Amino acid sequence: MLEKQLIESNNGVYNCWLNYAKCLNPKLVDQYKKICSCLVVNNNNTVKHTAVEELKLALKMIIGIEPLVSNEIPNSSYLFVGTLEDARAFQLETKITEKYADGSYEVKAADNEQNTALQIIGKDGTGVLYGIFYLIRNLRIGKEISQSQIVDIPRNKLRMINHWDNASGDIERGYAGQSFFYSNDEIIKNFSRIKDYARLLGSIGINGVVINNVNVHNIETKFITKEYLPDIARFADVFRNYGIKLYLSINYASPIELGGLKTADPLDEAVKQWWKKTADLIYDYIPDFGGFLVKADSEGRPGPFTYERNHAQGANVLAEALKPHGGIVIWRCFVYNCHLDWRDRSLDRAKAAYDNFKPLDGEFMDNVILQVKNGPMDFQIREAVSPLFGAMEKTNMILEFQAAQEYTGQQKHVCYLLPMWKEVLNFDTHAKGEGSYVSKVVDGSLFNSRYSGIVAVSNLGDSKCWTGHPLAQANLYGIGRIAWNPELSSEEIAKEWVKLTYGCDEGIVQTVVSILMESREVYEKYTSPLGIGWMVNPNYHYGPSVEGYEYSRWGTYHYADWKGIGVDRTVSTGTGYTAQYHEAVASMYENIETCPEALLLFFHHVPYKYQLKTGKTLIQHIYDTHFEGVEKVEEFIEKWMSLKGKINEEAFGLVCDRLRIQLKDSKEWRDQVNTYFYRRTGIKDIKGRKIYE
C-alpha cells in the first residue's frame, strides 16, 4: 500500500522530503548497490524492523534493488544494521556506548580488506531507525558512501510536535485543512495517513507527539477514560513503530468533570488519588505513554489559581501520579491576565511569564518540564527572546516554537522560520557568563537539567501537501533537524529539504533556497517594523489592522501617536521589563544606542524623526521597507515562474496560487500601514511614492 502510494504521488507534494525518486547518477547507484545488496540484520525489535522495511523500500524505489536479508555476515559486500547489543553479538567494534543519548547511531565502514561493507549501529532500535534515514537522506542528496560515516548524537532529549487538533476536526490556529486525527467528534477509523505522518516525523528525529489541543474541550477531556483510551492506544501503536511517544493535553478540571469530585485542588487528597488512578489506567492501555501537556490558568483555562495554589503545586500533583510509570508533565508558561487595561503603561504582558514562574524555581518535581515560548509575547515575526531562558537554573525547560504560521502569514505566505529559530537558539542569556546560549539551556547542558528539548506547534492538516503551502513543509522538516542538532545552519537545512523534495538540480536548489532564506525578512518588511509586532486583525491574526486590539477594548500594543511609536520597556522610564534579563543583556536593551535596531520598537518608544544607523529616519524606514517587501514578493514570483516545467506540475501550481495571495495581501499591508503612519505624522515619503490617503 505504502509503495503504491509513493509511486503514485512521487512528487514532493504528499511525500514531502520522503520523495524516493529514482537516482540517475550511475556511479552513485553502483556504490550503493554494491554495499546494500545484502543486509545483515537480527530482527528482534519493533522499531528496528520498521527501519529495515524503510530501507528496503527506499533501495527498491531509488536504485532498483531488493536486497537479500541475512542474519549472518557474508564473505562479500554487505550492510550491517543493528543495535549496540547486536553489534556486540556479532563482535563488531563501535564508538556507541550505553552512555550515549537514546537514538544515537554510528555509520562506519566495516573492517574489511575490500572496504566494501558498511555498518549502521544504533544505541537502541530508534537509533537504528535514525541511522537508516540518515543513509537514505545521503543517497537522495547525492552523497557518496565515503561521505556518510558519522557518529550522530541528538543534542536534545525531547524533540516534539504539539498538535492543536480538536475532536470536531477543526484545528486551532490551523492553516492546512482539517485534522487527520479526528472528524465530527470521533477518532478517525483509517490510520493509513497516521502511519505516513509517523514516517515523516521519524525520518527527522521527532520522538514525541501531542495529539490534541492545549485548550481541551469536552470530548478531548474524555481521552483519558476507558471510553476513549482503546482508540488513543491505536495512535500510540503506530507512532511507537517510529520511535515516537504519545502525549495528551489534559483538562486541569478533569477530577471534577470526569471524576465527580467537587474540587480539582492539587493539595486535596482525593484529587491526588484520582490522578494516580487515572495514570494507572492510561498506562494499562499505553505502557510507554509519554505524559501530560498542560495549559492552566491562561486565557480562561482552569488551573491551580482557583484554589489559591501556585503552578508548582499544580504541576506536582500530576507529576506524582506519572512518576512511577516514567511519565512527565509538560507545563506551558503562556500565562498572563488577558483582561488587562492597556491604558496603564506600567503593565506589560511581556513580563507575565517571568513574574509567574521565576519565583518558583526549584519547587517543581524533577519530572516536570516548563514549556516556554521563544518570545515573551506570542510568536510574532520578531520579538525578544524570553528572559525565562537563563532565569531558572533548578527547573527543566523545553523551548516552544510555532511552525504554524499564526502571525507569520498563516501558510498563505512563504515564511521560512529557521532563521528566526536559529536567532533564538544562538541568543546569549549570560546566565553563567558569556556563552550561556539558549541552545545550552534547552539541551540541558548549561544547568545539568534532567529533561530538556525543543517542541513546535504543528503546521499540519489534511491538505494534500500536509502544510497548505508546499514551501511550509520546510518548517516542519527544519524543526526536526534543528532539534536534533542546533548547530546546523538555516541554509544547510533548506538545501537538504529542497534536494530531498524537488531533486538536486542546482538551478532548482538555488532558486528555492534563495526564496526561503529571504522570506522571513520579506514578511517582516511589509507587515510590522523593528520588533513592534501585531498590527493584525485581532479576530483572525491575519491581515492588516494597524490598531488591531489584542484582548483589550482600550488600546493597542504599539502605542503609536503623532510623535512616535514603540513600547518603553526600560527600567528608567518604562515597564521595567529589561530588568528580567541578566546584566549584560539588560544593559544592552536598556540603552537605545546599544539596543539592536531589529528590536528597537520592542524596547523603546521612538520619535518618528529618530535617525537609524542607516541614516534614515524611523518614518522613512517604515515607508521604504513596506515598499521593498512588496517588491521582493514580486521577485519571488518571478523566481518561482522560472521553475515551470522543472518540478512537479501540481507542486508548482500550489505554490503559484499561494504567491498570488501573498502579493495581493502584501500590497494591502503596505498601503494600510503606510497610510496609517502618514496620517498619524503628516510626514511625506521623501521618495515621492504614492501612499494611499
Q: Tell me: the pLDDT tens digits for 230-244?
A: 999 999 999 999 999
Q: What is the pTM of this model?
A: 0.96
Mean pLDDT within 114-122: 85
- Tell me, what's the pLDDT at 7? 41
Q: Of 86, 152, 348, 378, which is the active-site residue? A: 378
Q: Is the pLDDT of residue 643 over 60?
A: yes
- Residue 478: pLDDT band by 50, 70, 90 thresholds? very high
Q: Count the Cβ atoms, other than its own, within 10 Å of residue 589.
A: 24
What percentage of the chain carries pLDDT values higher than 90?
Answer: 88
- Mean pLDDT is lowest, of 76-80, 323-327, 626-630, for 76-80
Mean pLDDT within 518-528: 97
Q: Bigger pLDDT: 149 or 4?
A: 149
Q: Is the pLDDT of residue 6 over 70?
A: no
- CA 582 to chain CA centroid, nearest Å: 26
Provide the phi-psi class of 45: left if phi over 0, else alpha when psi is between -120 and 50, else beta. beta
- Tell me, what's the pLDDT at 482? 98
pLDDT 10s digits, 441-463: 999 999 999 999 999 999 999 99
- Tell me, what's the pLDDT at 4? 46
Is-catalytic flag, 406? yes
Q: Which of 529, 528, 531, 559 has its CA nearest to residue 541?
A: 528
Kind plus residue range of the DSSP H or E element containing 435: none
Instruction: Let me know: does 83 contact 46? Beta carbons within 8 Å.
Output: no
- Tell me, what's the pLDDT at 574? 95
Distance CA 86, CA 92 (A): 9
- Tell me, what's the pLDDT at 346? 63
Q: Of 66, 299, 344, 649, which is the active-site residue? A: 299
Mean pLDDT within 582-611: 98
Distance CA 150, CA 100 (A): 14
Distance CA 387, CA 156 (A): 20
Helix, strand, coil % in the chain, rounded to nearest 5: 40, 10, 45
CA angle 323, 49, 131 (to 5 degrees): 80
- Tell me, what's the pLDDT at 343? 53
Burial bucket for residue 216 (CB in 10 Å: 0-12, 13-18, 19+):
buried
Instruction: Let me know: does 143 contact 107? Beta carbons within 8 Å.
Output: no
Q: Is the pLDDT of residue 178 over 80?
A: yes
What percentage of the chain carries pLDDT values higher than 70?
Answer: 95
pLDDT 10s digits, 526-572: 999 999 998 899 889 999 999 875 544 334 578 889 999 999 999 99
CATH 3.30.379.10 fits 1-152, yes or no: yes
Q: Is the pLDDT of residue 2 over 90?
A: no
Mean pLDDT within 491-497: 98
- Which cell numbers in the block locate residue 266? 492539587
Q: Of 265, 406, 443, 496, which is the active-site residue? A: 406
Q: Count the Cβ atoms, other than its own, within 10 Å of residue 401.
A: 25
Instruction: Let me know: does 136 contact 58? Beta carbons within 8 Å.
Output: yes
- Mean pLDDT is lowest, of 286-290, 302-306, 397-401, for 302-306
Distance CA 496, CA 560 (A): 42
Mean pLDDT within 424-448: 98
Q: Are strands 291-294 and 452-457 parallel, antiparallel or unpaired?
A: unpaired
Q: Is the pLDDT of residue 182 over 60?
A: yes
- Tell me, what's the pLDDT at 43? 78
Q: Count the Cβ atoms, other than its own, within 10 Å of residue 190.
A: 7
- Which cell numbers in the block locate residue 273? 488519588
- Tell me, what's the pLDDT at 467? 98
- Which residues partner with 121 through β-bridges? 82, 106
For CATH 3.30.379.10, list the domain ranges present in the chain: 1-152
DSSP 8-state symbol, 429: -
CATH 3.20.20.80 fits 158-488, yes or no: yes
Kind plus residue range of the DSSP H or E element containing 402: strand 396-402
- Mean pLDDT is lowest, of 61-75, 337-351, 629-643, 653-667, for 337-351
Q: Which of 435, 442, 436 has its CA nearest to residue 483?
A: 442
CATH architecture of 494-567+605-692: Alpha-Beta Complex (3.90)
Distance CA 462, CA 176 (A): 7
Q: If you average pLDDT over every residue of the chain, what do you get?
A: 94
- Residue 113: pLDDT band by 50, 70, 90 thresholds? low
Residue with cell 524537488: 502
| 3-class DSSP assignment, residue 539 | coil
pLDDT 10s digits, 323-366: 999 999 999 999 876 555 545 666 788 999 999 999 999 999 99
- Residue 421: pLDDT band by 50, 70, 90 thresholds? very high
Q: Is the pLDDT of residue 593 over 70?
A: yes
- Residue 12: pLDDT band by 50, 70, 90 thresholds? low
- Tell me, what's the pLDDT at 345? 60
For CATH 3.20.20.80, list the domain ranges present in the chain: 158-488
